[in-house]
Amino acid sequence: MLVGKRVNLKVAEKEDVPLLAQWLNDVNFSGDYQHFPDQITKAMLEKRIVEHRLYQNEWVDFIIEKKDGNKIGWAAHYLSAPNFGWIEIGYAIAPNERNKGYATETIQILVDYLFLTRDIVRIQAVIDSANIASRRTLEKARFKKEGTLRKALWNAKGKWTDGDFYGILRDN
Ligand SMILES: CC(C)(COP(=O)(O)OP(=O)(O)OC[C@H]1O[C@@H](n2cnc3c(N)ncnc32)[C@H](O)[C@@H]1OP(=O)(O)O)[C@@H](O)C(=O)NCCC(=O)NCCS
């Protein structure tokens, strides 16, 4: 368990599969800009979370919990380009818990954890260029915009959209 001031990040387990399946397949939770695989079944999530064999590369899911144990969101870190060792993060907060600073704290916890436990110099995130909330959240967590990938993401509305690369370095 990664312990923060207002939220904890619990590594997702088998018992979390039904909730994650519900969340990740719900456009109200994932948002208009989510670029993860469109739909994911419980069987796929079991392979990802319990058996760690859905993807070839490392992928770790977390449940974001408030201090009273209430589950309010999802986060993950994963190897996005294994040849380069690029570690990327993703996150979503339940609609009724947004704009309370929970995603920003989640990102800060993940960054601290990854820099403490991995021999890496950077962590990155890719967001839909129109995803203002996600951009603001990354900026508050001291990520910087590094560039734009044109038509890189297939969004929930069935359109190719530009993706902004954000990164944070170990050194600054
Ligand atoms: C992006 C997301 C995770 C942010 O979570 P959150 O807990 O609300 O984030 P925080 O409260 O830490 O910060 C949100 C910031 O965005 C700002 N914001 C939100 N919507 C905004 C909008 N439409 N225009 C301008 N600013 C906006 C908030 O005001 C806040 O900034 P502030 O603290 O300076 O006021 C949440 O909106 C979400 O789950 N979206 C759907 C999934 C998603 O897009 N995930 C990211 C994929 S890369």
What are the DSSP calls for 110-128, one per residue? HHHHHHHHS--SEEEEEEE
Phi, psi (rounded to 5 degrees) for 81: -140, 90
E strand or H helix at 93, and its extent?
A: strand 86-93
| Buried b or exposed e, range 150-162, using 16+ CB within 10 angstroms | eebbebeeeeebe
Q: Which CATH superfamily is domain 2-121 in?
A: Gcn5-related N-acetyltransferase (GNAT) (3.40.630.30)
Residue (of 82, 75, 18) closest to 50 by Cα position: 18
Q: What pLDDT digit, counting tens, does each position of 45-64 carry?
A: 999 999 999 999 999 999 99
Q: Give residue 146's pLDDT.
A: 98
DSSP-assigned letter for residue 18? H
Domain ranges of the chain: 2-121
Burial of 116 (0-12, 13-18, 19+ CB in 10 A): exposed
- Residue with CA nearest ligand 1 atom 26: 133
Best of 99, 153, 165 to mutate for ligand 1, by most ligand atoms within 8 A of CB? 99
Question: Which residue ranges have their beta carbon within 6 Å of ligand 1?
Answer: 30-31, 33-34, 90-93, 98-104, 127, 131-134, 136-137
- Residue with CA nearest ligand 1 atom 34: 136
Average pLDDT, the chain: 94
Beta bridge pairs of residue 124: 88, 167
- Amino acid identity for residue 96 in this structure: N
Q: Give residue 38's pLDDT.
A: 66
Atom number of ligand 1 nearest to Cα 127: 48
Residue (of 101, 89, 93) closest to 73 by Cα position: 93
- Nearest 10 degrees: Cα torsion 156, 57, 103, 122: -120
- Residue with CA nearest ligand 1 atom 38: 92
Q: What pLDDT digit, counting tens, does each position of 136-166 carry?
A: 999 999 999 999 999 999 887 788 999 999 9
Cα Dmax for the chain? 42
Distance 136 CA to ligand 1 centre (A): 6
Please report, rounded to a whole number, the percentage of residues in the chain having pLDDT higher than 70: 98
Whether the Cβ atoms of residue 19 and residue 63 lie closer than 8 Å to each other: yes
Q: Give residue 154's pLDDT.
A: 86
* Segment among 76-80, 87-91, 116-120, 155-159 with least mean pLDDT: 155-159
Distance 115 CA to ligand 1 centre (A): 24
Q: What pLDDT digit, counting tens, does each position of 27-45 carry?
A: 899 888 876 556 899 999 9
Confidence of residue 17 (pLDDT cuts 50, 70, 90): very high
The CA distance from 169 to 111, in Å, is 10
